[in-house]
Amino acid sequence: MVDFRECHITHYPAKVLAGRAQPVESIDDSIRVLIDKMADLMVEFKGIGFAAPQAGVPLRLFIVSMDGTKENIKVFINPTVTPAGELESREEGCLSVPGVYTHVRRYKTCQVSATDLEGRTFKETAEGMYARCLQHEYDHIEGVTIVNRMGQAARIGHRRQLRKLEEAAGA
């Protein structure tokens, strides 16, 4: 049994960020501990969303708090995010790719269905920054980071920082 209290933020190019995460089989105390630790990490590093792979755990789960507070965190377990509407390019950053901000094209709207911490399934439609955040976190559980979404010019522009992260990881 993994002690999720020992989780820490995982940086690019960590392998856990590049693979598709596994479904959460059951919502138990270990999952609650993991979510609590993820919330602490997200708040500490001033994020608005955080996926389990970012904590080094390859599970299909993420949290979102649009105001960055622990009190307003919403939990998404085994989510499905379906984008809709028009595409829009906006600048994004990522806690797992520190120092890199790049334009990413995402849909303005999306539908999400997921399970909450009490085991209830729910569906909702998100727009604007909330929709962008959901798509960003969903990317993480699919093994995609903003580095994968960068155009060639952005990769060239961020090559020093990406190389620095790769060297820090021993890659």
Q: Distance between CA 138 and CA 52 in Å, rounded?
A: 10
Instruction: For residue 166, give the H/E element and its range.
Output: helix 159-168
Length of the chain: 171
85 conformational bin, left if phi > 0, alpha if psi -120 to 50, beta if neither = left
Q: Is 142 one of the catalytic residues?
A: no
DSSP character string of 21-54? PBPP----HHHHHHHHHHHHHHHHTT-SEEEGGG
Residue from 25, 88, 137, 167 carrying the catalytic annotation: 137
Rounded distance, CA 55 to CA 8, Å? Answer: 5
Instruction: Return the active site residues.
Output: 137
